[in-house]
Structure 1
Amino acid sequence: MHSPPATAQRRTYAPLGRTISALGVAALLVVSQLYASIPLSALAAADLGVPESALAWSSTGFGLAYAFGFLFLGPLSDRFGPSRVMVVGLAVTALTTAAVALAPGVSGLVVLRAFQGFTASAFGPAALAYVGAQIDPQRRAVAFTLLTSAFVSSAVIGQVGAQLLGDLVGWRAVFVISGIGLLACAVWQKLVLQPEPAQPAAVTVSPWRVMVELLRNRRLALLFAAASTLLAGFVGAYSGIQITGLADQDGLLWLRASALPAMVLTAVAAPLVTRIAASRRAVLALGLSAVGAAITAASGGGLVLIGVGMFVFSACVVAAGPALVESISDNAGPARATAVSVYSFVLFIGASLGPQLAVVLHDAGFSVIALAIAALLSLGTLLARLAR
């Protein structure tokens, strides 16, 4: 007796636990490189004999190259497959990361950090595209939430880890150790990820043409616009707390650490939260993140109320990210990786502009900054609602 055709053609999906473990660790290490220079700046400045302010361009160089790299390297996943791009990208990023330790001065450091940021940008869109293509649709929302939690958690974990390692071994050794870790992640993913089909159904036209077509899609354009408000608000809020002098170093550490339980809680609650449709979940999470920002605005400078507001704010930012990614991925067709690349670009351009918002409003005080962020996220909520 012949087997039924449906059984013969049944799709084999990637295992959730093993896949997300490999992708999540790599995500933490890759995106941590964006934030690692913050706690290492004092050590690097002393070593290079320059003021600490002179090293600001090393972070800016990484951030801009990282954002623009999404537009150039992200679409490669649609041509060559996300698993290939991730393995090769992590291996190359391991080299550019270790090379940062060789910086002879500030100018060299900025250039090397820019190279590091550009190569690091290959990972994120490929990882999200891999989840969208290889994880069972019934478990995909959970996978997106767990992976996005790893991306966002790196903002705190990257700074804490770099500070602890820097104090022990010096700032140059931190980049060498990170390079070794990234190379280990490349090997891990080579062993764990499913190989690409011999002739994958991929986008073969120019990625720029594909991007233009994606932006002509009204729903996707609105989702991209909503995504641009997400990290602008998140980074802007923490920058506002820093530059307005609301707390001393211990207080700042407490406020940063208060976001970690929110991120863990969001990941644990993922199986329940993801039962809500992605488009509705994005609207709810963005709206509640605006509420969290409003709570901090009403704090009157009290650290406890700010901590409560940042807890709500951080949890909702973590929840909104995967909901937006899932909505974009579902509407992008075969150009999934290119669409996620555009999403990543607008997300981190927003992250670059967030501190500038805090700087412009810093004389008015933290409450005004928080109100501006609440308004920005309310706009993001409206855009996500219109996209439905």
Structure 2
Amino acid sequence: MLTSHPTGLVRAAALPSGRIRSVAGTVGVLVAAVLLAVSHIYVTIPLVPAVAGEYATTVAAAGWIGSGFGFAFAVGNLVFPTVSDFVDPRRVMALGLLAVAGTGVVAGLAPNLTILIAARAVQGFVAPAVPPVALAYLPRVVPDRFRAMALAVLSSCFLLSGILGQAWSLSIGAAFGWRWSLGGLVPLLVVVAALVMMLPAASRPAAPGSFRTVLGTLAGMLRKPQMLAAYTGAVAFLLTFVGMYVALQASSAELGAADPVTGLLLRLPGLPGIVVGLFGGLFIGRWGPHRTGAGAFLVAAAGLGIEAAGGPLWLVLTGSAVFVAGLAVAVPAAVTLVGIASGPARGAGMAGYAFLVGAGASLGPLLAGALTGAGFAVTCGVLAVILLVPAAAFGASRRASA
């Protein structure tokens, strides 16, 4: 995944009591919860032109329905993992899903852009009550022999939601209008919130830390080259992922995808790349997180380079698949590096990582919007250069730790 916050992993021989007792059932509910929460980062990417048209404003102004969500999402990633150390994480996740549903209704009914942006910002703040808390909760209730695979599956949701969120908007928005894309997920959010409360109970961390403690610990960690490398990658992940898809949406007509069906087809090549991320653990076990991370970022940059080069549509789509595959492998490498650098303060390290991932998600639409006039190729080229920074940082941190 892009985030986690296990302040204390409890080894379990079997799932504690709960109405949903199987590992598959537990992971399935958490996957649904994370997909529903995180997809709201991406759900507005195809909607910006329609929103701008309805409110008679610029595309740049309407783009804040995504960036406002992203900034608030970053802050929420610092708050809710700490809250879940003191409150039942199932309750935190369930209330988070209900809050996302409620703000979705407000956003769908917004009479003007100001209220829409405000509703999206509140939604962005409450959405992190699900993904980082789910990744902290899962290791406490899943037996050891299933834990690595369960975490890998849950981690894949953070990029998969990017494809599914846009697919939802493209299909529902085309059929019923953009407002239904924001409010139409409410029934699913309510159902999954109820299922979350049926999950097994989890024991709490031995020594939960306060919000102030998290911030103080983070300040000390920033002196470590390994942590700086991982945090550089954290900013780059969704900055480039969201930025590329925003640019893709803006250039859809140029690429021959003016209607929703072909627009959806442009996004499908990302799915095989996300599957590659499930094997990230094998790459890390063989080459270590530094080499794996550096190589994965270079692969992602190369994919953007292929997209920037243009040419036949199939070549652009191939570049998209390579880009997503690189990011999908870089994510577990960065998470592993955070765990190594954090030591016993893993929770604080992961909270900072999650905050920066959210910050990157907010910066992606702004950067892509600023580069819109330059064209899709230039935007992909700039994003490729950005990915070279974490690639170099991962390589340098390996030398520093040798």
Q: Do these two structures clear the TM 0.5 threshold for a shared fold by scoring above it?
A: yes
Deviations 1:254-292 (A, max 9, x none): 32121123223544x467556444444323322221222
Aligned in 2, Cα 1:359/1:167: closer, same or farther, shift over 3 Å?
closer
Quote the residue 1:249 is aligned against: 257
Do the aligned residues in 1 keep the contact of 2:170 with 2:264 (CA within 8 Å)? no
CA 1:99/1:337 → structure 2, altered by over 3 Å: closer, same or farther? Answer: farther
**Residue of structure 2 in register with 1:285 after alignment:** 296
SS at match of 2:184: helix
Give the 3 Å change call, closer, same or farther, for CA 386–208 of structure 1 in structure 2: same
C-alpha change, 1:136 and 1:218, in structure 2 (3 Å) is farther
Q: Indicate conservation of the 8 Å contact 1:262/1:312, yes or no.
A: yes
Contact 2:67 2:366 (8 Å CA) reproduced? no
Match of 2:209 in 1: 203
Does the residue aligned with 1:201 lie in a helix, a strand or coil?
coil
Secondary structure of 1:191's aligned partner: coil
In the alignment, structure 2 segments of 5+ residues that lack a partner are 1-9, 16-21
Cα deviation 1:195-242 (Å, max 9, x = unaligned): 234x74322472322332333444223211222122222223333444
Q: What is residue 387 of structure 1 aligned with on the other side?
A: 397
Residue in 2 that maps onto 1:69: 76
- Identity %, equivalent residues: 32
Moved more, 151-160 or 83-92: 83-92
TM-score (structure 2 length as normaliser): 0.81
Aligned-pair CA distance for 1:247: 0.8
State how far apart, in whole Å, the 2-side matches of 1:295 and 1:374 are. 10
SS at match of 1:223: helix
1:132·1:329 contact (CA, 8 Å) conserved in 2?
no
Runs of 5+ unmatched residues, structure 1:
1-8
Instruction: Describe the shift of the 1:25–1:340 C-alpha distance in structure 2 as closer, same or farther (beyond 3 A).
Output: same
Q: Which residue of 2 aligns with 1:106?
A: 113
Distance 1:133 1:343, change over 3 A: farther
Distance in 2 of aligned mates of 1:363 and 1:95: 36
Residues 1:296 and 2:307 aligned together: yes
| Comparing 370-379 and 245-254, the one that deviates more | 245-254
Give the Cα separation in 2 of the matches to 1:177 and 1:293: 33
**Partners of 2:49 and 2:384 in 1: CA distance:** 32
Rounded Cα–Cα distance in structure 2 between residues aligned with 1:13 and 1:283: 37
The answer (yes or no) to whether the contact 2:96–2:129 under 8 Å persists in 1 is: yes
What SS is found at the alignment partner of 2:339?
helix
Q: Select the residue among 142, 151, 156 that pairs with 2:163.
A: 156
The aligned counterpart of 1:91 is 98
**Separation in structure 2 between the aligned mates of residue 335 and residue 13 of structure 1, nearest angstrom:** 26
CA distance in 1, matches of 2:220, 2:88: 21
**Residues 1:11 and 2:15 aligned together:** no
1:1-388 alignment to 2 at 5 Å? 11-12=12-13, 14=15, 16-41=23-48, 50-51=56-57, 53=59, 55-80=62-87, 82-136=89-143, 139-197=146-204, 200-204=206-210, 206=212, 207-243=214-250, 246-250=254-258, 252-267=263-278, 269=279, 272-273=282-283, 275-276=285-286, 277-297=288-308, 299-362=309-372, 365-388=375-398
- Taking the aligned partners of 1:16 and 1:326, their CA distance within structure 2 comes to 23
Change (3 A) 1:366 1:93: closer
Other structure's SS at 1:75 match: helix
Q: What is the rounded CA distance, in whole Å, between the counterparts of 1:139 and 1:286 in structure 2?
A: 28
Q: CA RMSD in A?
A: 3.1
Instruction: Report the secondary structure of 1:332's partner residue.
Output: helix
Q: How far, CA to CA, are the matches of 1:386 and 1:133 in structure 2? A: 34
Partner of 1:4: none
Task: Give the stretch that moved more between structures: 106-115 or 165-174.
Answer: 165-174
CA distance change for structure 1 residues 370 and 327 in 2, over 3 Å: closer, same or farther?
same
Cα separation, partners in 2 of 1:11 and 1:29, compared to 1, 3 Å:
closer
Deviates further, 170-179 or 20-29 = 170-179
What is the letter of the counterpart of residue 117 of structure 2? V
